[in-house]
A and B are shown apart, each in its own frame.
Chain A
Amino acid sequence: MSQPAIQMCPCASGLRAVRCCGMNPAAMPPPDSSRHLMPLVERAVAAHRQGAIELAEKLCLDVLELAPDRPGALTVLYQIRKDQGNHTAAEALIRRVVALDPNNFAATNECALLLLSKGAIQEAELQARNAIRIAPQNPQSHNLMGMILTEAQRPQTGEYHYRKVLELSGARDPILLANLAWNLKNQGRMDEGRTLYQESAAAAPGIRQTLLGWARLEEADRKFAAAAGILDRMEQQWPDDPALLLSRAVLLGRMKRYDEALAVLDELAKLASDGRLGPHELAEKGRLLDQMGRYDDAFAAFGEGKRLSRDIGGQHYQDEIAGHLLGRLKGFFTAGRLNTLPRANVRTGVPQPVFVLGFPRSGTTLMEQTLSAHPRIVAGDELPLIDDLTGLMPRMLNSPLGYPEALAELWMGDQRDGLDNLRDYYLQKVAQMSILTQGAAWFTDKMPLNETHMGLIALLFPDAPLIHVIRHPLDIMVSAMSNHFTHGFFCASTLETAAKHYVRVMDLVQAYRSEMALRYLPVRYEDMVTNQEATVRTVLGFIGAPFDPGCLNFHENQRYARTASYAQVTEPLYDRSRFRYRHYRKHLEPVIPVLRSHIERLGYTVE
């Protein structure tokens, strides 16, 4: 008689699926019934502490087979899997610990850190918020929140939490100072950041991450010699450090010393155990090769970088989720329905938003830098607030439905002013971000792909200008390949999915524009490059701001653009980025049929 096959959990925790991710919580024995296993758990903890990992692992697996809800065993097994680099299992295990005991600060903290390291920032923030609720006076929880918010492009709020750590701890921990310095760098407050890095490095000269961050600050601030000096200093201590070498290559690239930069990356590859570069290094290599005119090699590097990124990070285009949401948006925002929905009132007496829309890498950073060179316009950067609102909306409107269907609540008498509340949430968060300066009449929000939510934006801010930056779709594809970004449901993980998402979003934009009266202005990136003054005049005129010649010299704008385009927008306009796709014509062949109708509709051709 044959035995049924044991089905191990796909998360690779080492447990059976029915004792791990496939567990039925209702079938769990009461916690007390497994108290006799506590000695085994204690032995596992002790073994792990003493470095007897195999024994600790075996004990944990034994305990969890009998009692899958023992937090101690789960925590030790989590630690083991995490140390082994098995992130999938580690995440599953720590999530279970948190679910079993939501007041477990250490586990919540770990869970948040793990999620942050994998780039799941929204979820990480939820966990970090819980950690602060559990331990509001614990500096560690605020530190974590500072890190997450800095990564979540809300550095101003992150700064608050870092400063809270300083206050609670009563000490100036060098690592904390370095974290705060990085945060300030992301706010463009370079001098303050530099001072903190100096203090941090003086107090603890041997911290690699501090020096790396400092070098990045100097490089972003165009202090190339200072950046090189810091990297030289690092090199004495960590000559073969991969992050150092990558920073060196980036710096050399910005100094246009492409051959040397490439040589550094080659050196980096030799140092790797498999002799190959990682995703970010490959993207940088591709960009260098592109600058050198070696386009086939560049595209090969981009493609390999994408492949590795998918293999390592497991980030694939969320095709079904994206298609479902965009389809629902198209179905909801129809002229007939919109004629029955209210609009938020315009809140006066505060700076008004200007939405800079566009696919990632379409020129939104250039547009924001240009506009924020105007004395009455400040840059808000990529504000995640519209996306936040789509998540908060059901709760704020007290709806059982999700976004966008939750907007149906606006027909109810008690939610007539629901849009005003949503609008105020957005404006309040902007105010908290300290981006609004004295005398500012407008602020920009250039979150890429906010055009996906153009219907909602027009309901919340019916008077707000929507500046949609248009660029040749094939140029956008080249940029999507040469950069790693997570926007658009990870669409840039392959060329084909980037094109697919582009088409979906542009179709949705078309539907919004057919169904709604919008204050919408399409602006071609190419016009900004070749016909700068006329384009700037048009855009400022559309916003209602008087022309300011400073906008033509946006590269002198002292503001630091945080996104991947920063290196480009700190230089005068150049023509190289226009119709760059021509160099990659054959590589883009698979997506040309997909994009052709949009290329033509936008008035471009394929040459």
Chain B
Amino acid sequence: MVPVPMAELFAIAAGQERAGNLEGADRLLNRILAVAPGQPDTLHLSGIVAFRLGRHEEALAKMEQAIALGVDVALYLRNICEVYRTLNRLDDAVIAAKRAVALAPNDPLCLHNLAVIHYERVEIDESIDCAGQALMMSPDLAGAHFARAEALLIKGDWAQGWEEYEWRFRIGGAAKLMPATDKPQWDGTPFGDGVLLLVADQGFGDVIQFCRYIPWVLQRCPNAAVACAAEMIPVLRQFMPEDRLFVRWESCPPHKAFSALSSLPRLHGTRVENVLAPVPYLRADPVRAAAWADRLRRLAPHSPRKIGIVWAGRPAHTNDRRRSAKLADFAPLAALPGIALVSLQKGPPADQAGQYFGHAPLVNIGAEVRDYDDTMTLLTCLDLVVTVDTSVGHLAAAMGRPVWILLATSPDWRWLLNRDDSPWYPAVRLFRQTLIRQWSDVFQRVAAALVEGGGGSLVATA
């Protein structure tokens, strides 16, 4: 028998896992398990590594095995609940998370995980309560602040929610807002003797949603500039000259203060009752619109109703597994007579257009869309847009175009709860999942609404 220094090997594997060398840790842990298959710590860590490598089912099997060995370790339960949540087993997730809390009542991370699971189960008060308990134990636990922020915001308690939302940049591993600076974060006080640098943070949808505050900012700080991704220039130049938009940090002008675009609602004091909604606040270039209308008319000339569709968001988005659907889910719409589906989908999920064989014609116009200017002009040529929660939904809504946004049971906080409209966008109609991660009934309702004649009147595509 070859002597195996398991404790040492395990320590090395754990170090590799912490250092991000997942393949190395995976190999080592599997070697240990080959010799000692019933070692719970190894099973647990091996499960974590498998989870991080995307092998979710294997991860779950290993972690369940670790727990089944009869060792009541809170850490195992705290971690397995996240695996359950990812695999959409929310009942198992909440049971495991509660057991973890019971085993380690003083561990704020257990409560944080439970708060996140409650949010996903749309148990918002419970989520706020758990996050609050975690913060009582560990007041600087940024993740718990953020969990509480999302729960407060979706509940409509924006006064507290915006404050908690400021913790988002302090979460471990979260992208920093900007390079380290000694300049202060803007507090909303007007000044005219320097530059206010706005940072177009978060996703493109957030930028489209919060750029509405730029005129409000310019009234207070006329010398504002914006640091943004290049893709956002077609949107932001509708508010300020292009020479005030910067896509590289080193090009940004010296500034007196800074603010994230997504922090402006807090500074503005936005509440559900007083949302700044000057819709339409984005407009398409009319010259381009004529060209796109002609292109679309040629590709789908005889379809009385042209419906733009987007079925998936950016795959790297943390919430993507909840918010994205598949093109095949649009089947109830595709079965309707008299419509053409116009795909505005970009990115890897756009490949699904090649696999579509539904009844309604599908025009994959997304393949010709180069930027948000193109998207905006295209939106003016469509009768309706039906999309999951993506930037295209925000864009159409900001332009005041008819748009139906399809949401998960536990959507992003901005869509609130139990309503089919949005204070942010008057033209939006929301369709919510009734069963967790089940799209079928959502699309059935969308199809029924289309049959009833929803979605706005026809547009002339001259």
Interface residues of A (CB under 8 A from B): 335, 338-339, 346, 462-463, 470, 509-522, 524, 538, 541-544, 601-603
Contacts and interface: CB of A to CB of B under 8 A. Distances in A.
Interface residues of B, number: 25
B335 to A, nearest CB: 11
6 contacts: A463-B299, A510-B351, A514-B350, A514-B353, A518-B364, A541-B302
B290 interface: no
Given A517-B299, A542-B302, A339 B368 contact: yes
Contacts of A544: 301-302
B382 to A, nearest CB: 14
A601 B367 contact: no
B346 to A, nearest CB: 10
Given A518-B299, A521-B361, A542-B361, A509 B354 contact: yes
Contacts of A470: 357
Interface string B331-358: 0000001000000000000110111111
A586 B377 CA distance: 54
A463 B301 CA distance: 9
Nearest to B367: A335
Given A538-B359, A542-B361, A519 B298 contact: yes
Contacts of B368: 335, 338-339, 516-517
B300 A513 contact: no
B363 interface: yes
Interface of B: 295, 298-302, 337, 350-351, 353-359, 361-368, 370
Contact of A517 (B301, B356, B358, B364): B364
Contacts of B298: 346, 462-463, 519
A134 B153 CA distance: 87
Nearest to A602: B357
A513 B370 contact: no
Nearest to B295: A517
Given A339-B370, A509-B354, A544-B301, 12 more contacts: A338-B367, A513-B364, A514-B351, A514-B353, A516-B364, A517-B295, A517-B363, A518-B299, A518-B364, A519-B363, A522-B356, A538-B359
B300 A519 contact: yes
Contacts of A462: 298
Contact of B355 (A346, A510, A543): A510
A513 B354 contact: yes
A470 B295 CA distance: 26
B302 A520 contact: no
Among B295, B302, B337: residue with most chain A CB under 10 A: B302
A511 B354 CA distance: 6
Contacts of B366: 517
A520 B337 CA distance: 16
A511 B353 CA distance: 9
Contacts of A335: 367-368
Nearest to A458: B299
Given A514-B350, A517-B368, A601 B361 contact: no
A521 B355 CA distance: 12
Contacts of B365: 517
Q: List 10 tightest A-B contacts by C-beta distance, closest first.
A: A510-B354, A514-B354, A513-B354, A335-B367, A522-B357, A463-B298, A514-B351, A517-B365, A544-B302, A519-B299
A338 B365 CA distance: 12
Contacts of A516: 364, 367-368
A542 B351 CA distance: 23
A602 to B, nearest CB: 6
B43 to A, nearest CB: 35
Nearest to B350: A514
Nearest to A537: B337
A602 B354 CA distance: 11
Nearest to B348: A514
Nearest to A512: B354
Nearest to B340: A542
B253 to A, nearest CB: 34
Contacts of B358: 522
Nearest to A544: B302
Contacts of A513: 353-354, 356, 364
